[in-house]
A and B are shown apart, each in its own frame.
Chain A
Amino acid sequence: MTIKLGIPSKGRLMDKTFDWFAARGITLKQTGAEREYSGAVEGIDGVELVLLSASEIPRELAAGRIHLGVTGSDLVRDKLVGWDTKIGELSVMGFGHADLIIAVPKAWVDVDNLDDLDAAASAFRKRHGFRLRIATKYHHLVHEFLKANGVADYQLVDSQGATEGTVKNLTAEVVADITSTGETLRANHLKILTCEPVHKSQATLFKSRTAPWSDADRATMFELKQKLDLGD
């Protein structure tokens, strides 16, 4: 048996993950052609590399089809209800930092915080006859956040990409999205609310609580934890 380690199949997140493991004496590499999704692990026996889309890793971990996985904490918390019953956090990895934030048009001089947003939502609904629309793909996290803060009279509309453009395109009034530098937001004449972010995300190594762990897997895991300096 082997431990299956799922990591993002492309981009900076994959490269940084390779670097992170390499710095700890474990070499992960893509095998075959550059775009072929197969990989190898050197420096430890009994670990198999599985290349996956970052957004599928939470689901695969929860289902126990992979033992370990690297993905953003935002995806785990948004996509998996009761995530900590299915998945454990082994280590934050110090890269892939991004905040899930709420942004409004910069021209909204009257809105800087959640109090303002709530008041604007109330007036907006009275005036337009429907609830203020917040475009996002992080429905669960954003709803929990706004509920905890008592914001009312809004609705979440789904946006899987180019979320910053929804305001200009009149499909939403507000956006809730991941940002690292805020540059795209500024370019689209949006400003971030001054409250704490909805979620501070970074690349994290997770462990599945539902995957089958044989004795051999446990032994491998013990060795891996030593190499990665993870403690228990």
Chain B
Amino acid sequence: MPLKTMPKSRVRAEAARLKTYFEGLGAVDVETDILLPAEVLLDLYGEDIRHRAYVTNDPARGEMMLRPDFTVPVVQTHMDSGADPARYTYAGEVFRKQDDLLDRAAEYIQVGYEVFDGSNPAAADAEVFAAFSDILSPLGLRAATGDIGILMAAVRGLKTTETRRNALLRHIWRPRRFRALMNRYSVKGAEMREENFARVRANMAANNAPAIGLRTETEILDRVMALSTDAAEPSISSSEIELLNDILSLKETVPHVLSALRDIAVDMDAILPAVNQLRARVDALDARGVDVENLEFETAYGRTSMEYYDGFVFGFYAEGRADLPPVATGGRYDALTSVLGHGRSIPAVGGVMRPAMILAVQEGAL
């Protein structure tokens, strides 16, 4: 039966089955509102969420959003409960505009499993992945994994200024701009940096325009100073740029990636903790019976589509159907909980699956 004509009652029944499975793993069933205040979501995700989610207006409550995903309301529920550690499961509709892919559903049911347990992150990562892998195993899906934390660790370890490291970190999830920044900070970007500063100096000399708007002269001068500093600053070394490129291009089975990363860590010891974390996760996955020898790993996986994940990431896909959305996705999102908790650290890992996709794959009716 095609995805679109799948009766909702069947999808609900499948969602209930999955939720029962997660409850069996110790998860507490949580319900969240469908209509959410837009402000928190807009602040977290920015303009992109406005174009993906349905935003509506209430004269009394302001902008409201139809639940685009469960992560934010579930994290908020968790913070209010004070339970630690905690495991949750949920099922319900999410709503997404599909501007670029008009044939995809704008409303569909998700089932999720979230683990808030900071005692052993590697074990928690493995627990979530294995839970998904086990229940999805009859479908013969392709599993993809990655770890945004490795690239982040590499950037944090670059021998350059804090400003440059922060600029790169800010664009971890936007590969095109990340690449542009890498080029600008590299040896071949030295001339560009000087030209940038020269251009701004020329603008200053020619400027006779009145200051208008909220952005103050101080802010403008701060940026001019930053450009001046950046022009004078030595480039990021070619060897470090090469190591970053090596890290970004890793796409292999887990054992191969681990050995490649250990080689890279010889020259870039800043990534060692992240590599050790990956190794601990692989051991934990192995202990749970996951076939890690053949598990795919890609350092850049999830970089474009999963902005709030900052560590382990995974997805399950119907083989040979790259045009379809993944059947399940998940990952670690410690940075997001830290923003929502105003700096309070709440390590969290979890994932969602789409019961309608599971039914469709089961019937081989895609």
Contact = CB atoms under 8 A, between A and B. Distances in A.
Contacts of B171: 150, 152
Nearest to A131: B46
Contact of A155 (B47, B102, B177, B210): B47
Contact of B209 (A105, A118, A172): A105
A112 B199 contact: yes
On chain A, which size bracket covers the interface? 35 or more
A158 to B, nearest CB: 11
A37 B237 CA distance: 68
26 contacts: A82-B99, A82-B102, A105-B209, A106-B209, A109-B204, A109-B220, A109-B224, A110-B203, A111-B223, A123-B219, A124-B215, A127-B219, A139-B51, A143-B51, A150-B180, A154-B46, A155-B46, A155-B47, A155-B50, A156-B50, A167-B212, A167-B213, A170-B213, A170-B214, A173-B213, A173-B214
Contacts of B170: 122, 152
A110 B200 contact: yes
A146 B50 CA distance: 14
Nearest to A154: B47
Contacts of A139: 51
A97 to B, nearest CB: 27
Given A119-B167, A123-B222, A155-B42, A168 B99 contact: no
State the 9 A-B residue pairs at the shortest beta-carbon distance, nearest first.
A150-B177, A106-B209, A109-B203, A150-B174, A110-B223, A167-B213, A107-B209, A109-B204, A150-B176
A105 B199 CA distance: 16
A53 interface: no
Q: Which of B167, B178, B212, B224 has the most chain A CB atoms closer than 10 A to its own CB?
A: B212
A123 B223 contact: yes
Given A85-B102, A124-B219, A149 B176 contact: yes
B191 interface: no
Given A107-B212, A115-B180, A150-B178, 4 more contacts: A82-B102, A110-B224, A115-B184, A156-B50
B48 interface: yes
Contacts of B226: 119
A128 interface: yes
A146 B47 contact: yes
A48 B210 CA distance: 52
A151 B178 CA distance: 11
A189 interface: yes
B198 to A, nearest CB: 12
Interface in B303-354: none
Contacts of B207: 106-107, 109
Contacts of B217: 107
A208 to B, nearest CB: 17
B158 interface: no
Contacts of B47: 131, 143, 146-147, 154-156
Nearest to A132: B215
B365 interface: no
A108 interface: yes
Interface string A125-145: 001100100000001100100
A149 B220 CA distance: 22
A128 to B, nearest CB: 7
B60 interface: no
Contacts of B210: 107, 189
